[in-house]
Amino acid sequence: IDHSEQMVRTARKRNAAAIRSGLVELHCTSFAHAPVFSEPFDKLLTVNTLQFGDESEQRVRELSRYLRPGGLLATTFQSRRPGATEEESRSSAEERADLLRRLGFTDVRIEVLPLAPVCAVCVLGRTGPVPAEYT
C-alpha cells in the first residue's frame, strides 16, 4: 500500500515475479482507504509513514489491525529534514518504541542503519501475546 502512484509503479517492476505468483499485492491508496484483506499478515513494514502529522498512535492502531496476534510491525524512517541529526533520529526511535509498548506491543527493539545524511532507524514490535508457533 502506497499513496504514490510512482512508488507503486516502481514496486510493480521490482516485484513482477512475486506479483505473478500471487505472493505480492500492490495498492495505490492510503491506509484510511486500504482494502480489507482475507487474512491478517505475519509481518508489516512501513517506511516514512508515522512521522507525518500528530496521529502516530491512531496510525499504529490502524496498522496493527492488519496483523495476526504475534505479528511483527517494523516501522522505518530516515529524516530528510535539512539539519536533521543522528540524535534526533535516535530520540524519535525511542519515542516510537515507547508508543508501541504503550499500545501493547511486545519484544520491542530498535535497529539503526548508518546512512547519510543521518541514520535510518527501524522500530520493531510484535502484537499482543506471541503464540507458541512464533517462538
> Which tens digits make up the pLDDT trace of 15-41?
999 999 999 889 898 877 878 888 888
Q: What are the C-alpha distances in Å from 67 to residues 53, 73, 130?
A: 23, 8, 12
Answer whether residue 128 shows pLDDT above 70.
yes
What is the predicted pLDDT for the residue at 132? 54
Burial class of residue 126 in the structure, from the number of CB atoms within 10 Å of its CB (0-12 exposed, 13-18 middle, 19+ buried): buried
pLDDT band at 8 (very low <50, low <70, confident <90, very high): very high
| The one-letter amino acid at 28 | C
Q: How many CB atoms lie within 10 A of CB 77?
A: 20
What is the predicted pLDDT for the residue at 134? 46
Q: What would the pLDDT profile of 41-98 be if each residue is shown by its tens digit? A: 899 988 887 765 566 788 888 888 889 999 999 999 988 888 888 888 898 899 999 9
The grid coordinates listed for 31 are 491506509
Of how many residues is the chain composed?
A: 135
Its pTM stands at: 0.81
